[in-house]
Structure 1
């Protein structure tokens, strides 16, 4: 399979949704704990990227197999299997290969870090598969925004910080027949609060996607959140979640990030607001869906930059 077709199949342009939280958690560990382990970083990068590509390919494959409406913009142009006339058997082979790479790298990371990575990684793998596969995939229910936001936002950020900080965040040990979980509550809470822009930004990417696909989703029996609550309430929720994301600036201030740096982060609210208005005026895959991705990148890359500068200032 040509590399161009492969990149379209896995929708490589969407991988910012997992890579940005990964980098945010890494920078947070460097800022908060002054810890960085290159080997752990590399293994998580390989596992996370491979699994993210696999789940996207599964989603495209499942949509290809289950689609009722097989005409129109959404089906013919956005499903790479149809657009590039890919061999379904070859697509399955790619999915299996990517999953094996992700699992192998994940196991190596677990062996170097601890049981908590095995637990969280296994749970994330299960949710990722069930998101696109099974009798009722999560993506076909009004739960997609919640699951994608929490797992791709908070869980990825937590794991990417944990592989560097370890017991400074939490420990999971097996003593005989007893499993003992010890959590540094304040530290984990800070990670969660820091993750709010990523959680809400990723949820909004999913919400924007579902708003754009409402008509096709109804025909293909995908009962997503906008289908349940209606387009107008979905657009209002889309707007509210972006502005709510800026509440984490209070947390950054509590962690003594320089106020001038926080002003730079807050400044992103201007282009984000403009993108919200443009999307609400014309919510389509062709013209405005990319604005949700832009907003996610704007809000979270600004925080990565802020923590990077703050970390540099502490050395």
Structure 2
């Protein structure tokens, strides 16, 4: 939800053994704004690069001018080094205009009462765990000049696809509730969240999160202590990956307690050709596969 050193993000907070592809969501997207598209926008979703830091810094200084501004170049580079697949952006005609950043964590090590500083390792991101089960949203931001183009939704769709491709259980983020400041003297944070959820009130961040299929798991106090707009409160948001395969997670990359070996006793004989030799090998491989062998051992006689 926030950035390194606690710089707040749009989503509030918000490889691996399982894979590292981003999938078709990273394909180039050309679109024209309607109804008065002048000039045409050419939007492309891609992974961030170190060379993008200058553009990222400029956007963050616009978005977080009332907080702690942009990350340092070292913090940005560290995140790219830890988990490059999780750092994505949207560019328009070659210029970065929006970005979403994430890490993978073993959520059981942190639980629901964590702070932004704790789960991001105070901006060092040494909490990133390629063997973890949860995609944690570090930051999302959009250049103010590109609001209302649904770029945030596109970034979240790409995050969801990444979560599915890496077979992660869920996506979690801490979400700021900046609209709460205007109602803090009238109601509790829980009441405010309930009214936003019931569409009786609108919050610039929480409303967006709810429309993107997140649900409020918990309300956290002290998540970003300096966030005066949210009165230091945040919503713990979660999106569940319905395609998560727990058995797949257990089988891939983990040691087996039992291994089945197929032993082939090969009688040396002359072969007509190399192709004939390969056909014989294929026969034995198919045979031991039928017995669900994990590997085969050939003994020549």
Larger RCO: 1 or 2 (CA < 8 Å, sep 6+)? 1
Structure with the higher helix share, 1 or 2: 1
The structure carrying a bigger strand percent of its residues is 2
Shared fold per TM-score greater than 0.5: no
Q: Tell me the TM-score normalized by structure 2.
A: 0.26
